[in-house]
Structure 1
Amino acid sequence: MAGAGGVRARWLGRTARWRDAHPAAARGLSVAVTVLAAALVVAALVLPNTVVGLRPAKFVRLPAEAVIGAAVMLALPRRPRVVLAAVSGVALAAMTVLNLLDMGFNQYLGRSFNLVLDWSLLGDAQSYLEDSLGRTATLAATAGLIVVVLLLFVLLALSMVRLSDLLARHTGTATRGTLVAGVVWITCSSLGLQISGVPIASDRTAAALKIQAHRVSDTLRDEAEFRKVARVDAFGDTPGAQLVPDLRGKDMIFTFIESYGRSAIEDPIIAPGVDKTLDERTAALAKAGFHARSGWLTSATYGGSSWLGHSTTMSGLWVSNQQRYRTVMASDHLSLTKAFEKTGAFDTVGVMPGVQKAWPEQSFYGLNKVYNAFELGYKGPKFSWSTMPDQYALQQYQDRVHSKKPADGKSRMSLLILTSSHQPWAPIPKMVGWDQLGDGSVFKGIQAAGNKPADIIADTTRSRQEYGKSVQYSVTALTQWLERYGDKDTVLVFLGDHQPIARVSGNHASRDVPVAIVAKDPKVLDKIDGWGWTDGLRPAHDAPVWKMSAFRDRFLTAYGSTPHPKRG
């Protein structure tokens, strides 16, 4: 301790001697540091929480919090003033971090950061970056981010202390300036004065704090309310014999295509290639005897968190956050896939190439067997986040599951989650001959020749183009598989789980995703005649739009299930 004290004394002595030797430079440096401290504090106070809000006019506002803070600091003795200044700086840094998290979540997931629920997603984000950019780059980025955040806390705390000391040294001037600033703020607020459409008077931080408090309160209240909702189930007590009787004997397949949203079909940059693929694949399937109907579902999630879309579709509940997801997974609410298991007439299987750890959700989905990423025999390269190309996963499904008849004369229901259209859409697999797939080694050259994730992630135009190509690949792989291996009893339901991130789909894009039912048996599509869906794989712009949570009950009803409500 004495050694540290000596070092500090020597440093202070050298600083004092430098100031004495260079008074003009010392004053200039002091003024510059004070100005930077003030600029940092004001910028933090008025920082918006969206990328589109980052305009110069947003940073030339007069924050009410600064005026009130100055008035409070002037009224306090030195010790409590310094403590309050440091604590206020730390609190402002925390609000700044929350604003930046809001910015990122709005840009990628189309919603704000939830202080209660979303911390776990930061780990998922790190895993995604590691898969996309590599472990070294991700560790470097994570370390850099931690340093920046810690530096932000330190700088804002020191800035607040420095500004409070300045106010104390010039009490008279500071008091008059605070009064003038208060009058200006009240005047600008009352008259609604603006610069470039942005109000001059700001209370951004106070409003953000209020919003965060309401969000926490709403989240905690929603947990209790949703538990009650999840206990009510229109088909919860329906006997197995009365579930999906019109699909007995069918080979049922439910498939989710990652990030397959309305933008893929309607965005002017993305749509031409995707629409062409959908039309070509509709014609190819028709030639093979298959016909399709398609419509739109509004997803409970956007840009990511695919499991929320999967569980919303299958549960018939609006599973829009992680808390609701945990509640549903722990409940006995009947999932659409579990309804097939409950009949006793179907063997139920899941193929999940994106699952790389224990998956307790298997029970909720009623799956007798699940093949994860490590059980499909893949020896080829990963394609960024995607562990294997969709075509390979589908062929493995064919070899390990679909080509084998279930025991005891049962039919089969399968749940497939395809991942090749997962961001960052680089590199993208290409179709190869189905007989050439082998153990996946054939994809090594394709992966090596593909785009690098780092070249696509930061480029909006290229991201949109490559996203469209990835959807074309996934749709082609799935429909070619159906054309090649489907038969008169095969019924395929496939849909997207959510729209791609806002940078690709647009800042004001809908949350709609396409959904299609494909079958050879005309009776299967006759059952949904009343839905008003479009013929073919490409839904019309004005085709019906349902909430994703409505699909389970509509599907069960269409295929003859009898409601027997279960009430909590």
Structure 2
Amino acid sequence: MLTTRTALALGTVWIVCAVFGLQTGADHVDIASRNNVLLLQNRVKAVKAGMEDSKEFAKLARVDRFDDTPAEKLMPDLRGKNVIFTFIESYGRSAIEDPEIAPGVNSVLKKRTEALDKAGFSSRSGWLTSPISGAGSWMGHSTLMSGLWIANQQRYRSVTSSDRMTLVRAFRKTGDYRMVGIMPGVRRSWPEGKFYGMDHVYDSRELGYKGPYFSWSPVPDQFSLKAFERLEHSKADHKPLMATIILASSHNPWSPLPVMLPWNKMGDGSVYQGIHDRGARPTEVWKDPHRVREQYGKAIEYSVESLTEYMEKYADDDTVIVFLGDHQPVPTVTGGRNASKDVPISIVARDDKVLDKVSDWGWDKGLKPSHKAPVWRMDKFRDRFMTAYGSEPETGAGTKSTSGSSGDSGKK
């Protein structure tokens, strides 16, 4: 593979040859055709832009206002709570506001808000703008956790090879938490777990699931959550948890889809075989954009129901759940590449003091953010969350926040 410097040097030679019309020997064959020159020019521009972005990102990543914060000043207002961050695949603004999709999703959000209220929980919701859309979930996850704008693979590789303070690492530094990940979409070793600072990552091979795949996801969301309860949350012999859970049933192609089952009837997942076999086939669904959108909406409804029923059944006074979408779905659903990149985010807790800490955020009550609810860039969330729950940045060097200052224009 050519190095960047070599590519630039060769590109310059090619462009010079084309500009001056240099030719080879007697047959007068052009050394570089006009089309090749244009392609190479674009490639050189892309390489230079990548180099400049890499330098800018490295500069930003070196500055972290919480990097030197001592353990006792990190997350003091959440000590003793089980804090669960949950990403719902492709849960975007379109699910709540698109007239073809929203009625079903909003009906579920309303019903589940009422059920959680009845169980003693309160919730607040707003919007975050994801750096990506349609795919690239890992960039959304790393943006939220690191407080840096991870909008391309180069930035992702850079941040995950660093010692950047993630939200997980912040809890880890306190010494009071056990950090775990539920990653049903991971099917082999996952080195990024070290970057996030997790004590243990349960991938699809460790959740005890023996049933069929549903579309892309190896494990249905409800089963993943029940596995989390069995493997970690129900145990009383360890520290409070800081858990990261990925719900992947709403990953395209959204067919076939699982359905909600009684929580004590899932067994090892074999019960899902008949549900899978009766479900819609992707090859049929994707013939019709309206059918795709219908299936997407059903997938989001299932993921939201799985998580909120889990809260209602298993969460307690010491449970705090933050859940959000990682990005908007593909253009077939959103209607085009110019669609919003906003995703919903909610905080749910039974302890009123938890939500009192974010009362000045202006978020809406319930699980559904209104159209006018605040919109923040996703990279701003880390610092705002840490500050709201008592984390104190150290004064002096390193106090300038990198959150939201990646050089990209965006919402406040």
| TM-score > 0.5, shorter chain as reference | yes
Look up the match of 1:273: 104
Shift of 1:261: 0.4
Long gaps (5+) in structure 2: 1-17, 400-412
CA contact (8 A) 1:406 1:412 kept: no
Following the alignment from structure 1 to structure 2, what is the Cα–Cα distance between the partners of residues 219 and 458? 38
Look up the match of 2:317: 488
Equivalent of 2:342 in 501, 512, 522: 512
Equivalent of 2:295 in 459, 466, 484: 466
| Secondary structure, aligned partner of 2:49 | helix
CA contact (8 A) 1:378 1:388 kept: yes
Question: TM-score when scaled to structure 1?
Answer: 0.64
Q: Number of aligned pairs?
A: 379
Task: Give the greater-gyration-radius structure (CA).
Answer: 1
After superposition, the C-alpha distances for 1:168-217 in whole angstroms (9 at most, x for unaligned) are xxxxxxxxxxxxxxxxxxxxxxxxxxxxxxxxxxxxx94x7655432221
Following the alignment from structure 2 to structure 1, what is the Cα–Cα distance between the partners of residues 329 and 85? 21
1:551 equivalent to 2:409? Answer no
Equivalent of 2:211 in 380, 394, 416: 380
After superposition, the C-alpha distances for 1:245-284 in whole angstroms (9 at most, x for unaligned) are 0001111100000000000000111111111111111001
1:300 equivalent to 2:131? Answer yes
Following the alignment from structure 2 to structure 1, what is the Cα–Cα distance between the partners of residues 47 and 162? 24
Distance 1:414 1:426, change over 3 A: same
Long gaps (5+) in structure 1: 1-68, 96-204
Shift of 1:459: 2.7
1:223 equivalent to 2:171? Answer no
1:238-257 → structure 2 map (5 Å cutoff): 238-257=69-88
Look up the match of 1:501: 330
Segments ≥4 residues shifted beyond 3 Å? 75-78, 208-213, 565-568
Distance 1:76 1:395, change over 3 A: closer
Distance 1:458 1:406, change over 3 A: farther
After superposition, the C-alpha distances for 1:126-158 in whole angstroms (9 at most, x for unaligned) are xxxxxxxxxxxxxxxxxxxxxxxxxxxxxxxxx
1:132-531 → structure 2 map (5 Å cutoff): 206=38, 210-407=41-238, 410-507=239-336, 508-531=338-361
| Secondary structure, aligned partner of 2:223 | helix
Shift of 1:567: 3.5
Following the alignment from structure 1 to structure 2, what is the Cα–Cα distance between the partners of residues 327 and 386? 27
Look up the match of 2:403: none
Question: Could you tell me which amino acid in structure 1 is paired with residue 283 of structure 2?
Answer: A
Q: Over the residues paired in the alignment, what is the CA RMSD in angstroms?
A: 2.1
CA contact (8 A) 1:340 1:346 kept: yes
After superposition, the C-alpha distances for 1:486-527 in whole angstroms (9 at most, x for unaligned) are 101110000000000112112121100000000000010000
User: Sequence identity of aligned pairs in percent?
Assistant: 54
Equivalent of 1:79 in 18, 24, 27: 27
Shift of 1:77: 8.0
Higher helix share: 1
| Secondary structure, aligned partner of 1:241 | helix
After superposition, the C-alpha distances for 1:326-375 in whole angstroms (9 at most, x for unaligned) are 11111111001111111011111111001111111112211111101101
Shift of 1:80: 2.5
Distance 1:262 1:310, change over 3 A: same
Distance 1:308 1:502, change over 3 A: same
Following the alignment from structure 1 to structure 2, what is the Cα–Cα distance between the partners of residues 320 and 223? 12
After superposition, the C-alpha distances for 1:393-443 in whole angstroms (9 at most, x for unaligned) are 000001111100243xx2111110110000111111111111110000111
Distance 1:252 1:76, change over 3 A: closer
Following the alignment from structure 2 to structure 1, what is the Cα–Cα distance between the partners of residues 24 and 388? 71
Following the alignment from structure 1 to structure 2, what is the Cα–Cα distance between the partners of residues 373 and 406? 24
Question: Could you tell me which amino acid in structure 1 is paired with residue 379 of structure 2?
Answer: S
Following the alignment from structure 1 to structure 2, what is the Cα–Cα distance between the partners of residues 472 and 364? 32
CA contact (8 A) 1:347 1:406 kept: no
| Secondary structure, aligned partner of 2:27 | helix
| Secondary structure, aligned partner of 1:447 | helix
After superposition, the C-alpha distances for 1:303-348 in whole angstroms (9 at most, x for unaligned) are 1110000000000000111111111111111001111111011111
| Secondary structure, aligned partner of 2:186 | coil
Following the alignment from structure 1 to structure 2, what is the Cα–Cα distance between the partners of residues 342 and 365? 12
Shift of 1:458: 4.2
Question: Could you tell me which amino acid in structure 1 is paired with residue 229 of structure 2?
Answer: Q
Following the alignment from structure 1 to structure 2, what is the Cα–Cα distance between the partners of residues 414 and 347? 8
Look up the match of 1:3: none
Question: TM-score when scaled to structure 2?
Answer: 0.88
Question: Could you tell me which amino acid in structure 2 is paired with residue 444 of structure 1?
Answer: Q
| Secondary structure, aligned partner of 1:523 | helix
Following the alignment from structure 1 to structure 2, what is the Cα–Cα distance between the partners of residues 442 and 519? 32
Shift of 1:455: 1.7
Question: Could you tell me which amino acid in structure 1 is paired with residue 75 of structure 2?
Answer: V
Following the alignment from structure 1 to structure 2, what is the Cα–Cα distance between the partners of residues 291 and 260? 21
After superposition, the C-alpha distances for 1:18-60 in whole angstroms (9 at most, x for unaligned) are xxxxxxxxxxxxxxxxxxxxxxxxxxxxxxxxxxxxxxxxxxx
